Structure 1
């Protein structure tokens, strides 16, 4: 066997990749690089806990609800603690917006960044061993360092993100992120405990044949959404819906497809949160050639009015999203 086949490269480690590409970031001075490392470290800890979920008592409900009315799982609470601690100790983040907290968390430091995070998306799938994820957005603070955190620091449009990403805890654990210069994908190598580059400058197919929507709510869809779903069926598209936003988005980004969570009779503004779910995935979609809207408006242009604001969400391959918009 050739030595080159025996010792094939497994890619560039995340730390080295971040360092090599730091100059692409307009404010390159090390803080953002360290922030991404802190997120990666916390994700490894959360990944370890998820892998032990069937062995120790961290599965099932926590017996409480978060501020948006969702039942909290034990791993929701644990993941929130892990990411908050890692980002607080890192010192680059001055404030944290989390799905699991009613208000933002002031980390009382001189950090330059604000993080919006869904620590564990799709957590209702934990007990059945289905892929789940973490979603995060990074913004630069607007107020001077040393002054109190302001609303302007917290409620920023998605177009003001300086970085965004997600971690997918599945058959392999993957970290996908962008700093506005394309989308890069890293896979966790458990024996080494490191993330290695597995896909560089990832491009989403312009069109696809997969649609992801919860058709159990079909009776309360608008006529436009019903028309688009019927169009997908007439075209013999494939329906794929996991119920974990990160997993559904990741599949469609690789294979081409559209993810839809529309407004319904029960959730007139949709169910997904703008600040820590839609903005991050919209940024990633656009950086990979895709598109994200609320059915009418570009997601990244929506002015947020509250931390936990909900919006309808159409994201994926550009041509599929545009076709859906034309029928709404």
Structure 2
């Protein structure tokens, strides 16, 4: 049986990077177990606190964040940590070479209704900047590894170190992730799109026009019928696209005109863009390739368009025109 360590070693990853990834996966197994227990573990419901985004924290948001943070701080190779649930970057070990960003529990509003959620992570090298917060502000193209764990009917790890994308399923009988797809590839064409239609009236004109053309079906300018999907968890949306293609969109809208988007660049946009590109798809904002965006703050927001190559190019063309 191929182990994660074996696969990463074959890809040329050094022992330090493997250690960091294995610590993330160790925490993910604990999160998976607690999710399976649900109400039996007392992890459902919300706390009385808000995170830096102004979002009410679920109990398991806080638990998952602490599990990952504690696991990573024990690694001598982790220089710093940044999380959706932390106001500022968290110091690791001075001699560490890696910076880790993560969303501990993406889609946590789905927890109480037993719908898929996930952990997203990204790993970069430190630049040596004495200001830890500034150290994190690197373009997504600098990532050395990224991935997510989807907690659904099964717990699935999807990971890249820049040499394609592999998919692993957690075997609870042995407590290990088992390789189930060694080369994930996104179909170039699709007939599925995912977007929150309840926000339609707030979208910019290019998105309004593009979605209208999708909905026009065979009689419209695109000339084919599309189905719409929406899970309200980025991990689940991206996993569907990596499995069978599609386009996922979370565009800018006019409700908060001074905010460029809803999703966070550092621990949502960048890791998902790395995965999607490595699987043959595309990911962009409404202006540029996601992995080329130069961040200005750890919790920076961006619009997101990702998925099958042909459809993302088509969506981008509406903005360019």
TM range (shorter): over 0.9
CA displacement 1:51-75 (0-9 Å, x = unmatched): 1122132111111110011111000
Unpaired stretches in structure 2, ≥5 consecutive residues: 218-224
Q: CA deviation at 1:19?
A: 2.8
Structure 1 residue 199 and structure 2 residue 189: aligned?
no
Contact 1:95/1:149 (8 A) holds in 2: no
Give the Cα separation in 2 of the matches to 1:228 and 1:12: 44
Aligned to 2:255: 266
Counterpart among 8, 19, 24 of residue 18 in structure 1: 8
Counterpart among 85, 102, 105 of residue 117 in structure 1: 102
Q: CA deviation at 1:151?
A: 4.2
Aligned to 1:82: 67
Give the Cα separation in 2 of the matches to 1:151 and 1:84: 16
Q: CA deviation at 1:20?
A: 2.9
Give the Cα separation in 2 of the matches to 1:309 and 1:257: 26
SS for the counterpart of 1:187 is strand
Structure 1 residue 280 and structure 2 residue 271: aligned?
yes
TM, length-normalised to structure 2: 0.94
Counterpart among 178, 181, 184 of residue 163 in structure 2: 181
Give the Cα separation in 1 of the matches to 2:16 and 2:4: 15
Contact 1:121/1:133 (8 A) holds in 2: yes
Q: Size of the alignment, in residue pairs?
A: 310
Contact 1:228/1:327 (8 A) holds in 2: yes
Aligned to 2:221: none
Q: CA deviation at 1:109?
A: 3.5
Aligned to 1:154: 136
Contact 2:285/2:305 (8 A) holds in 1: yes
Give the Cα separation in 2 of the matches to 1:267 and 1:229: 21
Aligned to 1:241: 230
Q: CA deviation at 1:14?
A: 1.8
CA displacement 1:287-311 (0-9 Å, x = unmatched): 1111011122001011100110001
Cα root mean square deviation, aligned: 1.3
Query: In the superposition, relative to structure 1, how do residues 152 and 91 fare at CA in structure 2: closer, same or farther (>3 Å)?
Result: same
Q: CA deviation at 1:15?
A: 2.5
Aligned to 1:7: none
Q: CA deviation at 1:167?
A: 0.5
Contact 2:76/2:93 (8 A) holds in 1: no
Aligned to 1:5: none
Aligned to 1:257: 246
Give the Cα separation in 1 of the matches to 2:234 and 2:175: 26
Bigger mean CA offset, 56-65 vs 281-290: 56-65
Structure 1 residue 97 and structure 2 residue 79: aligned?
no
Moved over 3 A (4+): 148-152
Aligned to 2:280: 289
TM, length-normalised to structure 1: 0.92
Give the Cα separation in 1 of the matches to 2:212 and 2:113: 30
Aligned to 1:3: none
Contact 2:91/2:132 (8 A) holds in 1: no
Give the Cα separation in 2 of the matches to 1:249 and 1:125: 16
Give the Cα separation in 2 of the matches to 1:290 and 1:54: 38
Contact 2:58/2:109 (8 A) holds in 1: yes
Show the 5 A alignment for 1:21-32.
21=11, 23=12, 25=13, 28=14, 30-32=15-17
CA displacement 1:34-56 (0-9 Å, x = unmatched): 11111111100111111112213
Give the Cα separation in 2 of the matches to 1:18 and 1:218: 43
Aligned to 1:211: 193
Counterpart among 16, 32, 42 of residue 57 in structure 1: 42
